[in-house]
Amino acid sequence: MAATTKSALLEISQKEFAKLSKLVDAIDTNMAMTKGVEDTSIKDVISHRAHWISLFLGWYADGQAEKPVFFPAEGYKWNDLKRYNADLRQRQSDLDWDGAKSALASGYADLIACITSKSEAELFGGPMKGANNKWTPGRCAEAAGPSHFRSAAKFLRAEIRSREL
């Protein structure tokens, strides 16, 4: 069930990030950088999650400034996500494991700062400006943060299990 209050959004964000961080902290550089399914590494997944936080923050800022909001990014549509993610992996190919972990921690801090700086009404009082859908900024923040943390943790657990066999 999606968060509908600021306190619930903060709580779920902190909870899911803590779970993901515990897994991330246990992964060494070699494991993180080894490519697996679909030529994707653990590092790729973590840096991807950090990037999506920055996308959300950009969407929010652009909407507030009444600038065009590009979902998911300029030149891409939602049905282009596979191509977008492949292009993102290419752009992030020089990023190392420490850089990916740092980007995730920084993104998380930025997300929490954004959430805490907003009122209940700003987060859940209506659709996010520029989004052209009914999702509130709070719901978008949850999708970019805790929902992505949860799916990344699931991916990491599966990768760790598959490599232990």
Is 96 domain-assigned? yes
Provide the domain count of the chain. Answer: 1
pLDDT in the model for residue 121: 96
| CATH number of the domain encompassing residue 111 | 1.20.120.450
pLDDT in the model for residue 22: 96
pLDDT in the model for residue 39: 78
Is 32 domain-assigned? no
Q: Tell whether the model's pLDDT for residue 23 goes beyond 70.
A: yes
Is 1 domain-assigned? no
Band the pLDDT of 123: cuts 50, 70, 90.
very high
Is 103 domain-assigned? yes
Instruction: Extract long-range pairs of 134-140: CB within 8 Å, 24+ residues apart.
Output: 137/60, 138/3, 138/4, 138/6, 138/9, 139/2, 139/3, 140/56, 140/59, 140/60
Is 101 domain-assigned? yes
Is 43 domain-assigned? yes
Is 74 domain-assigned? yes
Question: Which residues span the domain enclosing 144?
Answer: 6-27+38-164
Band the pLDDT of 149: cuts 50, 70, 90.
very high
| Average pLDDT over every residue of 56-72 | 92
The pTM assigned to this predicted structure is 0.91
Is 127 domain-assigned? yes
